[in-house]
Amino acid sequence: MNIHVDDAPITTGLFIDGKSRPATGERTYDIFNPARPEELVGHAAAASKSDVNDAVQAAHNAFPAWAALSYDERADYLSRIAEHLVANEEDVASRSRLFCREHGKILKETLLEMSRLGDRFQLTASYADRLAKDEELSGPPFDTIITRQPRGVAALIVPWNWPLSILGAKLPQALMAGNTVVVKPSHNSALAPALTLEKMAKMLPPGVLNVLTGSASEIGDPLVSHPLVRFVNFTGSVDVGRHVMSVAAQNLTPVTLELGGNDAAIICADAKLDPGAFMRMYMGAFMSSGQICMALKRLYVHKSRYDDVVAGLTTVCNKMVVGDGLLADTNMGPVNNAKQHRTIRGIIEQARAAGSDIQELGQIADQNLYDNGYFQRPTLALNPDPGLDIVREEQFGPALPILPFESEDDAVAMANDSRFGLCSSVWTPDYDRAVALARRLEAGYTYLNAHGPAAQDSRGPFGGFKDSGIGRNLGYEGVIQFQGHHSISGPPGTLC
């Protein structure tokens, strides 16, 4: 691999009250390339509890002036941020390359995530007129205006898998609602997100957007439990989400939790199974090495089409090249970190030991690289026992169980037999039937004849049921999450 000049290790800092600064004591931690675990990508600032307090206090001080702006004025800030993020193509390419090296996902995906972040800022800015309209109730008995107001300082906690896209689902919404913000990116993917957040923060008044990087074990609880934090929006695992909710409850701080998913897809007997459909299934399951909350994670196929689906997906998977995400021929990069790599390997080996037909597919670009990095080929588990972890739990890696069903009632029952309820998909050319089936699925979002990020409409609210979380991100509703309703009443004939 050719080493670029910009591949030298970098150091990122915190951003608090309009200024970039090191963490207390100039502490940092190292981030390595998951494709080449011996390769140091950079050093991220390791914030302390003192830094958390500084960031929250800065946001609290900036809140009154920011909240006093009109929706149009805040929308103008968001639009200018969106333009600024992509104004310098060389800068976008450099941050995307850095993102690829610290995360592992292929360069095409990092470029996509980096270049389209601004789209969600522009979309959120477009809600200004709608947000500015109060609801009016005429008397008797009273005239009442139902309006909304921002909550205050919002803490946004972002995971490592799609940090910029997930930021775009909550950051512009929090700002548009009138809140000031403290963002904590994941410990495992902090460099490119920190640089990108700093670019945004410099476009805003000091204190409106503050950035903390570091260990969740050290700064997570101090941030969530801080008495000046008035709302917490967390995306991550179920276990950590429960902990966040319990810590926030100490101050009765409301939360939005977007947690795990074990998304089911139902392939009906009349599904159109052409190369395009198989590629959409592949992308739904294996994009970003399967490390997406909304990824297709359980594939239920009508028994009459089971062999066709297995053959079609096998063909697509075998064309994929697994390797370093920076290389042009690579279709799938490594899993992000050693812990997740062990988890996905354990799930696969459990299924294999139980007698499941495990198909590890795809092409290995460099066997030595594969053996030493956190790689896993795209893997299909054919008709595994439904009680195995590969079916019951969120794999969060490139492994997909495929199970047959006899009736659509059976398929719905199997899809709903999960503690998760994030996303789902239905595959049939009969859209009336597709919608009818979708309405029976216990999921916050259902895709038709596709699945995952490529099928996501950012205008719609996103979130889940059951263990998949509380509340919604994205869309107009995602802005409302960051506000509280305020009713104003007077005698009939005085307000409306």
Q: Is the pLDDT of residue 67 over 60?
A: yes
Mean pLDDT over 92-119 rounds to 96
> Tell me, what amino acid is at 480?
I
| 224 part of a folded domain | yes
pLDDT band at residue 7 under the 50/70/90 scheme: confident
* Entry pTM: 0.96
Q: Which one-letter DSSP state was computed for residue 287? A: G
Is 73 in the active site? no
Same domain? For 65 and 167 the reply is: yes
107 and 252 share one domain: yes
DSSP structure string for 412-448: HHHHH-SSEESEEEEE-S-HHHHHHHHTTS--SEEEE
Q: Would the pLDDT of 1 be above 80?
A: no
Q: Exactly one of 102, 109, 113, 258 is catalytic; name it.
A: 258
- How many residues are listed for the chain in this entry? 496
**pLDDT band (50, 70, 90) for residue 56:** very high
Same structural domain, 418 and 301: yes
When pLDDT is cut at 50, 70 and 90, the band that residue 6 belongs to is low
Establish if 495 belongs to a structural domain.
no
Nearest to 152 by CA among 75, 256, 60: 60
Note the helical H segments in 287-396. 306-318, 338-353, 367-372, 389-392
| Distance in angstroms (rounded) separating the CA atoms of residues 143 and 97 | 57
Q: Tokens at residue 265, please?
A: 């897809």
Q: How many helices (H) and strands (E) does the chain have?
A: 18, 25
Within this chain, do residues 301 and 198 fall inside the same structural domain, yes or no?
Answer: no
User: Does residue 295 belong to any structural domain of this protein?
Assistant: yes
pLDDT at 173: 98
Q: Can you give the C-alpha Rg of the chain in angstroms?
A: 23
Domain count, the chain: 2
Catalytic annotation, pick one of 100, 109, 268, 293? 293
Amino acid at 386: P
CATH code, domain with 130: 3.40.605.10
CA–CA gap between residue 168 and residue 474 (Å, rounded)? 8
293 catalytic, yes or no?
Answer: yes
Share of the chain above pLDDT 90, in %: 98
Average pLDDT over every residue of 60-81:
98
| Cis amide leading into 386 (omega within 30) | no
Going by DSSP bridges, is the β-strand pair 483-490/143-150 parallel, antiparallel, or unpaired?
antiparallel
- Packing angle, helices 191-201 and 89-103, rounded to 10: 150
Q: Is residue 125 domain-shared with residue 222, that is, in the same domain?
A: yes
Is 17 a member of any domain?
yes
Task: Report the C-alpha gap between 433 and 412 in whole angstroms.
Answer: 13
pLDDT given at position 255:
98
How far is Cα 246 from Cα 127, in angstroms, rounded to an integer? 33
Strand partners, 302: 405
Question: CA-CA distance, 496 to 181, in Å (whole number)?
Answer: 35
Q: What is the pLDDT of residues 121-132, one digit of tens each?
A: 999 999 999 999
Asked whether residue 440 falls in the same domain as residue 313, the answer is yes
Domain co-membership, 207 together with 276: no
The answer on 187 and 163 residing in a single domain is: yes
Q: What average pLDDT does the segment 139-159 reach?
A: 97
- What pLDDT score does 5 carry? 43
Asked whether the predicted pLDDT for residue 443 surpasses 70, the reply is yes
* CATH, residue 324: 3.40.309.10
Buried b (16+ CB within 10 A) or exposed e, 154-183: bbbbbbbbbbbbbbbbbbbbbbbbbbbbbb
The answer to whether residues 359 and 377 touch, using CB atoms and an 8 Å cutoff, is no
Does the residue 27 lie in any domain? yes
User: Tokens at residue 478, please?
Assistant: 């995602």
Instruction: Tell me the pLDDT tens digit for each residue of 387-403.
Output: 999 999 999 999 999 99
Phi-psi region of 77 (alpha: psi -120 to 50; beta: other; left: phi over 0): alpha
Could you tell me where the beta strands, DSSP code E, fall in 198-340? 209-211, 229-235, 255-258, 263-267, 296-302, 321-322
In a domain, 496, yes or no: no
DSSP element (H, E) containing 399: strand 399-405
Residue 113 lies in a domain: yes
In a shared domain, residues 190 and 311: no
Q: Across residues 274-285, what is the average pLDDT? A: 98
Least confident segment among 3-12, 38-47, 309-318: 3-12
Kindly indicate the confidence band of residue 436, based on its pLDDT and cuts at 50, 70 and 90: very high
Whether residue 270 sits in one domain with residue 253 = no
The chain-wide mean pLDDT, for the chain, equals: 97
Please report where in the chains the tokens 């199974």 appear, as a residue: 273
Outline where DSSP puts E strands in 46-159.
135-137, 143-150, 153-157
State the pairing for strand pair 321-322/465-466: unpaired
Residue at 490 is within a domain: no
Print the domain residue range for 401: 263-458
Half-sphere exposure of 346 (CA within 13 A, CB side): 10
Rounded CA separation 281/236 (Å) = 24
Does residue 323 share a domain with residue 205?
no
**Does 42 lie in the same domain as 123?**
yes
Q: Check whether 3 has a pLDDT greater than 50.
A: no
Question: Reduced to 3 states, what is the DSSP secondary structure of residue 301?
Answer: strand
Task: Name, in order, each residue with C-beta under 8 angstroms of 342's C-beta and a sequence gap of 6 or more.
Answer: none
**Peptide bond between residue 378 and the one before it cis (omega within 30 degrees of 0):** no
Residues 6 or more apart whose CB falls under 8 angstroms from that of 318 comprise 361, 362, 363
What is the average per-residue pLDDT within 483-488?
A: 98
Element (H, E) at 103: helix 89-103
C-alpha 179/C-alpha 422 separation (Å) is 27
Rounded mean pLDDT, 327-356: 97
The 3-state DSSP class for residue 68 equals helix
